A and B are shown apart, each in its own frame.
Chain A
Amino acid sequence: MSNISVSELRKGAKVEMDGAPYLITDFDFCKPGKGQALYRCKLKNMITGSTMDKTWRSADKVDTPDLSNRDVTYSHSEVDMFVFMDSETFDQIHIPASVLGNQKYFLIENAECQILFHGEKPIEVTLPIFIEKRITHTEPGARGDTATNVTKPATLDNGWEIQVPLFVNEGDLVKIDTRTGQYSERVSKA
């Protein structure tokens, strides 16, 4: 871990406080009353997602977190763990479901992902932007309803429910944007 002067901070920079990595989501310089410069930041905890305000003084130093990305492919799941394989070392990496959140519904065998580590601790998994999933259940769309922004619920093979356009049917293969978890387009009909 190294430290830097707060004057080097910018929006998007990452800092470490009390053992947790934070992302700077907003940053401003101010200099009240002809006094010393202050740096007013909004921070987001990269593990819990909670946000906070922080004012640093110009002489302050902040720690930078030890963050690293590893390229992995998804292998399989075991109880409440998801197992990835490091693309370089072929080591198995076990990721708890809590790190993945809803992303666990979009994991596909052999998908090329990235895992962000804070020190030795995995904190975030980045999936391919688009994945393809088959619809296992959805009610037929109402006949004659051609409005493009009308959607209906549809269930994936793993039980997760998404919203799809009315023309999508059971057995169709659809593309999902893993960043938003939303339907993107239909790949093929059943």
Chain B
Amino acid sequence: MNTNSDLQRLTALRPALQLRAELTAYIRAFFRDRGFLEVDTPLRLAAPALEEFIDAEPAGTGWLRTSPELQLKRLLAAGYDKLFQLGPCFRQGELGRLHQPEFTMLEWYRAGADYEAILADTRALVIGAAQALLGRTTLERNGHTCNLAAAWDDWTVDAAFARFAGQTVDQVLAQDDGAFETLLVEKIEPHLGHDQPAVLRDYPLAFGALARRKPGRPDRAERWELYLAGIELANAYSELTDAAEQRRRFLACAERRRRDGRPVYPLDEAFLAALEAGLPPCGGIALGVDRLLLLLAGARDLRDVLPFPAGT
């Protein structure tokens, strides 16, 4: 790369870097004011969470974390009731306009709560951040003005598939692997979150690896995703607290990964022991901070708001 043009690019990034510094400061103040404890968990893990389609980067004798979720839940089991973490996570091979293999994740957890309480936090956070950083509560994108302060759309996955894909979720799940994701991308997501944020909730159980079953709908997981100005920003669960079910899901996931030729990580026995000892009912969320920055900056590609992105 030409040295001068690289330095010019970095110089021109100053507004994005300033916005990012204000955003992380705002996030820390937001959670401190609400009584959350900020923690830092290890970057390198001996047993990253087993998820069917998330691959960890090998690092020394272990792997770089794909999420701090298992460590934060061990702290919850130890009695910490409101926790957050802001820091890097790594996912192998994820590179695109809205993906970087190294990215900044915000996770927070509330004991004695479920995904509804997390939704209330999230609404306060994104409205508050936009107001504090931009002096307004609207985002412009793709010719739409997304009004953050308006009532948020709220779709169940079942209702969204019926409305936009013309098929029931169960019909789609009976088709080949990947049909659900393909319809989600081609038919559902284009309708979500343009004029006001949209929540898509209650996913098929297979798409909620660490989420609890919905009461009355054991084939659905209490999970929602948030779409802001058309971009998927955050993923929240009412957390699964049943140790036996979590172990069964991990083992089934390990088997599918083996079948698909993906690396299989060891079970995190310390995490499973914490669930056995008793994880309180809790809700938690992972929010992509780089994507939130992109939205606030009005950028189209993560590479336009990060000083040292991969894939350039």
Cβ of A34 < 8 Å from any Cβ of B? yes
Q: Quick check: which of B13-21, B118-126, B179-187 contacts chain A, the rest being far away?
A: B179-187
Q: Is the CB of B225 within 8 A of A57?
A: no
Q: What 0/1 pattern do residues 93 to 105 of A give for CB contact below 8 A with B?
A: 0000000000000
Q: A40 vs B180: C-alpha distance in the bound complex, in angstroms?
A: 15
Say how far A53's CB is from chain B's closest CB, in angstroms.
8
**Size category of the binding interface on chain A:** 10 to 19
A31, A33, A37, A59 interface centre (most CB from chain B within 10 Å): A33
> Which B residues are in CB contact (< 8 Å) with A28?
96-98
Cβ of B95 < 8 Å from any Cβ of A? yes
For window 32-49 of A, CB contacts with B under 8 Å fall at 32-38, 40
A29-B99, A33-B225 known; A38 and B54 CB under 8 Å? no
Interface set of B (CB-CB < 8 Å, partner A) = 51-54, 93-99, 177-178, 180-182, 184-186, 189, 203, 207, 209, 225, 232, 235, 260
Partner of A37, one of B93, B184, B186: B93
Partner of A30, one of B52, B180, B185, B260: B185
> Which A residues are in CB contact (< 8 Å) with B203?
33
Q: Is the CB of B207 within 8 A of A35?
A: yes
> What are some 10 contacts across the A-B interface (CB < 8 A)?
A28-B97, A29-B94, A29-B95, A30-B185, A32-B184, A35-B178, A36-B177, A36-B178, A57-B177, A59-B178
Q: Is the CB of A38 within 8 A of B51?
A: no
For window 52-74 of A, CB contacts with B under 8 Å fall at 55, 57, 59
Q: Which residue of B lies closest to A27 (CB)?
A: B96
Q: Is the CB of B53 within 8 A of A36?
A: yes
Say how far B185's CB is from chain A's closest CB, in angstroms.
5
> Which A residues are in CB contact (< 8 Å) with B98?
28, 30
A32-B189, A32-B232 known; A37 and B182 CB under 8 Å? no
Q: A32 vs B99: C-alpha distance in the bound complex, in angstroms?
A: 12
Q: A31 vs B203: C-alpha distance in the bound complex, in angstroms?
A: 15
Cβ of A7 < 8 Å from any Cβ of B? yes
A31-B53, A55-B186 known; A36 and B96 CB under 8 Å? no
Partner of B53, one of A34, A40, A55: A34
Partner of B180, one of A7, A33, A59: A33
Partner of A34, one of B54, B96, B97, B260: B54
Q: Which residue of A lies closest to B186 (CB)?
A: A55
For window 3-42 of A, CB contacts with B under 8 Å fall at 7, 28-38, 40
Q: A57 vs B179: C-alpha distance in the bound complex, in angstroms?
A: 9
> Which B residues are in CB contact (< 8 Å) with A29?
94-97, 99
> Which B residues are in CB contact (< 8 Å) with A33?
180-181, 184, 203, 207, 225
Q: Which residue of A lies closest to B185 (CB)?
A: A32
Q: A31 vs B53: C-alpha distance in the bound complex, in angstroms?
A: 9
Q: A37 vs B51: C-alpha distance in the bound complex, in angstroms?
A: 13
Q: Is the CB of A38 within 8 A of B99?
A: no
Say how far A27's CB is from chain B's closest CB, in angstroms.
8
Say how far B259's CB is from chain A's closest CB, in angstroms.
12
Q: A29 vs B260: C-alpha distance in the bound complex, in angstroms?
A: 20
Say how far A11's CB is from chain B's closest CB, in angstroms.
11
> Which B residues are in CB contact (< 8 Å) with A34?
51, 53-54, 207, 209, 235
Q: Is the CB of B186 within 8 A of A35?
A: no
> Which A residues are in CB contact (< 8 Å) with B178?
35-36, 38, 57, 59
> Which A residues are in CB contact (< 8 Å) with B260?
59
Q: Is the CB of B177 within 8 A of A31?
A: no
> Which B residues are in CB contact (< 8 Å) with A31?
53, 94, 99, 181
> Which B residues are in CB contact (< 8 Å) with A36?
52-53, 177-178, 181
A35-B184, A38-B181, A57-B182 known; A30 and B53 CB under 8 Å? no
Say how far B205's CB is from chain A's closest CB, in angstroms.
12
Q: A38 vs B186: C-alpha distance in the bound complex, in angstroms?
A: 11
Q: A36 vs B256: C-alpha distance in the bound complex, in angstroms?
A: 12
